Chain A
Amino acid sequence: MNTDQTTSVVLVGVGGQGILLASEIVAQAALKSGYQVKTNEVHGMAQRGGSVVAQIRYGKEVHSPLVTRGTARALGALERIEALRFADYLAPDGLVVVNSQMLVPVTVSTGLAKYPEDAEQRLRNKFKRLIYIDAAQKAVELGDIRAVNVVTLGALSTGLDLPLEVWHEAVAISVKPRFKDLNMKAFDIGRSCV
């Protein structure tokens, strides 16, 4: 399979956590680096608090916008168990960044299922290259929980071969002007967690 030249990135989380913006920033960074880029994002019903996946692929020539299982260079998870749910996307030497935040699904609240208590341990056992950060806390410290996506992305950016100045440019053009400073800081804080 000709995935050699194509880099795949998968972002997962819960509807409403800002996966689409994070996906946009990766896409812009890859575009600014001169690559062909394709992305896929989930819209509609799944956005109502469900599990959400965004996929970005870039390279010289990209065919499918969808990431083949076992080939993602980087997996970013905005909620801790979502990384476990989508682990099979990851390439053997891929980087995983997990925001340690816990969002309890309604299935747990209603007693239909259990939230794994050993989630952190499972993550550490499963992933060789894991960055486990409290991105939500860092976002709150910055003054807006919504920056959790960009903090996580900052850490994830270390696993991708795109230059820092391109990432900064991508953040700047992807967010609303009034949130630019906040998100630039969020990105750098995430990146410094590594």
Chain B
Amino acid sequence: MLTELMSGNEAFARGAYEAGVVVAAGYPGTPSTEILENVVKYKSDIYAEWSPNEKVALEMAAGASMAGARSIVTMKHVGLNVAADPLMTLAYIGVQGGMVIIVADDPGMHSSQNEQDSRHYARFAKVPLLEPSDSQEAKDFVLFGIELSEKYNTPVIVRSNTRISHSRTPVELGSRREPHKVGFEKDPSKYVTVPLWAREMRKSLEHKLPVLVEEACKSSLNRIEMRGKTRGVITSSIAYQYVRDAWPKASVLKLGFVHPFPDELIREFAGRVDELVIVEELDDFLEQHVKSLGLRCKGREFIPGIGELNTTILLDAAAKMEGKAPSREVALESDTDLPARPPVLCPGCPHRSVFYALGKHDVIVAGDIGCYSLGAFKPLNRLDSILCMGGGISMAHGLDKSCEPKKVVGMLGDSTFFHSGITGLLDIAYNKGKSTIIVVDNRTTAMTGHQENPGTGRTLMGDETISASIAEIGRACGIKRVREINPYDMANTQKVVTEEINADEASLIVSVAPCVLRERKPLGAKRHIHEKLCKNCRACLKLGCPAIEGGEGKPRINPLLCTGCAMCEYVCPFGAIAPVEEKK
């Protein structure tokens, strides 16, 4: 059998291929993004799309499923909040073609605004939950999930996380199952959730759960590994791997089919060990349930519920359980007085100019999810809040309507605008708001690694398509003042930003310039600083450009990083910055 080293996300994609999936949809979000990017490898067999948001993705997959097509939907944890509306009712309707929703959590918030535990959604929606602990299982569980979905007429959630999605482990490849024949069969009592029929669906959903509990108890995805009776651990996902490293002698009930909880299996395991410990990342989802069965167990009082777990944390927890001091001995300590190296806007990033222009005004800036969240840090320091996708626009409107004395700006990116900014903009136009909305349109979904979106003119499958105009959408919403600017023209950017902030009505500024990291070509000649002309006023450093290094002495431009965007040349009051002369 062919074995390959695959990331969890590659393996999810492979699982979709082998399961006979024909439709895949999602919205990019770390750590889930590469699932659909890998599904495209199988594009002769699977139709895949970036939907404008996760709700749309789940709904389109629900449609495909209704016709009998197998589907997967991918998103990060917060994306499932957006898709929660269709999820809750799809659980009532069920599926024809199997559907797996892959949701990737981000414990430790490597690239997220919260670390919610998405397992709760499975219980909330009353649907099965599978949790792989490596890439092999990531693949296998998609196949199993599709089968389970069809057998029990229910969408299935497969929950990943940063470490499962972005770790690479060996995977054995299999062949593709034949997809279903597709053909919608009309049956309103099955698909139309008017109360008359929805009440019946509600009952059958509830009746499905005890049957699924039985299925979970006998599932090969849940297994008892007996190694001794002193300590028994119930765990799932990546935490299983940490348990194996930290406590190699412990017995383990390894759960892959987590919800509905396999009660009998849990009771059986609890009866075979002296001490029962629950090891899970984030919330005490398993622990609460185990306790509700009347079983004594250790868990949250020894194992933290905030951030990620790791082997060291479990070693310390074991010491604590045994009443010993945690052994924090490592060979070397890391230096703790080093300068932090937070992520920053790239050299030449077009967003920088907009933040610089906003820095001239005493306004409130409601930000959003994307690279421009990096504008919150010094020295740009020109972003005052981040809530969620699209929240930049709607929060700006709320600030504006609150009688807040300062002028208000909302800022978000192109992909975010298409995701859930349009309704907020419509709200502003409809309800006569006065805030200034800036869409920093870099023609890609940059932060997650340059995915296509409705503005880019290309689909996930690589086909040419429409390029939705943000300015036109703004006008169609009813915004009268719509301005498009080139952010590299810093004088004009500042002029337009000033005019629109001072306008007494709502306005939309679309700052259009492609992401410099995606283009990967110089914007102009590299710049350098004339030692003699530089007065060390440090104005250029206020741009926060990683290419401009300012330590003790005068600033200098690192030629390896400079993209030639010339923003520093514009802000230098002494004309000390100029293009490097090309050697002839």
B343 and A43 contacting across the interface, CB-CB below 8 Å = no
- Assuming the contacts A45-B110, A46-B111, asked whether A14 and B341 have C-beta atoms less than 8 A apart, the reply is yes
Within 8 A of B (CB), among A145-164: 145
Does A41 make an interface contact (CB < 8 A)? yes
Task: Give CA–CA (A122, B336) in the complex, Å.
Answer: 12
Q: What number of B residues sit within 8 Å (CB to CB) of A? A: 60
B371 and A104 contacting across the interface, CB-CB below 8 Å = no
A39 and B170 contacting across the interface, CB-CB below 8 Å = no
Please name 8 pairs of A and B residues whose Cβ atoms are closer than 8 Å in the assembled complex, sorted by A. Answer: A37-B5, A43-B449, A48-B344, A49-B343, A63-B244, A66-B167, A68-B312, A145-B560
Task: Give CA–CA (A90, B330) in the complex, Å.
Answer: 8
Give me the interface of A with B, judged by CB distance under 8 Å.
Answer: 1-3, 14-15, 27-28, 31, 36-51, 62-66, 68-70, 81-82, 84-88, 90-92, 94, 104-116, 122, 126-127, 145
Q: What is the number of contacts between chain A and chain B, taking CB atoms within 8 Å?
A: 187
Measured CB to CB, the nearest residue on chain A to B240 is A63
Q: Mark B397-419, 1 if CB is under 8 A from A, else 0.
A: 00000000000000000000000
Within 8 A of A (CB), among B335-380: 335, 337-346, 371, 374, 377-379
Chain A residues near B447: list those with CB within 8 A: 44-45, 48
Measured CB to CB, the nearest residue on chain B to A65 is B167
Does B300 make an interface contact (CB < 8 A)? no
Task: Give CA–CA (A122, B168) in the complex, Å.
Answer: 34
B339 and A113 contacting across the interface, CB-CB below 8 Å = yes
A49 and B344 contacting across the interface, CB-CB below 8 Å = yes
B166 and A41 contacting across the interface, CB-CB below 8 Å = yes
Does B269 make an interface contact (CB < 8 A)? no
Chain A residues near B550: list those with CB within 8 A: 104, 108-111
A48 and B371 contacting across the interface, CB-CB below 8 Å = yes
B551 and A108 contacting across the interface, CB-CB below 8 Å = yes
Within 8 A of A (CB), among B244-272: 244-246, 248
Chain B residues near A37: list those with CB within 8 A: 5, 168-170
Q: Which of B167, B340, B343, B345 contacts A15 (CB 8 A)?
A: B343
Measured CB to CB, the nearest residue on chain A to B548 is A109
- Assuming the contacts A27-B5, A43-B31, A65-B167, asked whether A106 and B344 have C-beta atoms less than 8 A apart, the reply is yes
Q: Which of A3, A105, A122 contacts B335 (CB 8 A)?
A: A122
B560 and A27 contacting across the interface, CB-CB below 8 Å = no
Does B292 make an interface contact (CB < 8 A)? no
Chain A residues near B169: list those with CB within 8 A: 37-38, 62, 65
Chain B residues near A87: list those with CB within 8 A: 332-335
Chain B residues near A84: list those with CB within 8 A: 334-335, 338
B344 and A40 contacting across the interface, CB-CB below 8 Å = no
A81 and B371 contacting across the interface, CB-CB below 8 Å = no
Chain B residues near A14: list those with CB within 8 A: 341
Q: Which of A50, A65, A115 contacts B339 (CB 8 A)?
A: A115
B551 and A88 contacting across the interface, CB-CB below 8 Å = no
- Assuming the contacts A42-B110, A106-B544, A112-B378, asked whether A88 and B334 have C-beta atoms less than 8 A apart, the reply is yes
A116 and B344 contacting across the interface, CB-CB below 8 Å = no
Chain B residues near A126: list those with CB within 8 A: 332, 335
User: How distant is B104 from chain A, measured CB to nearest CB, in Å?
Assistant: 11
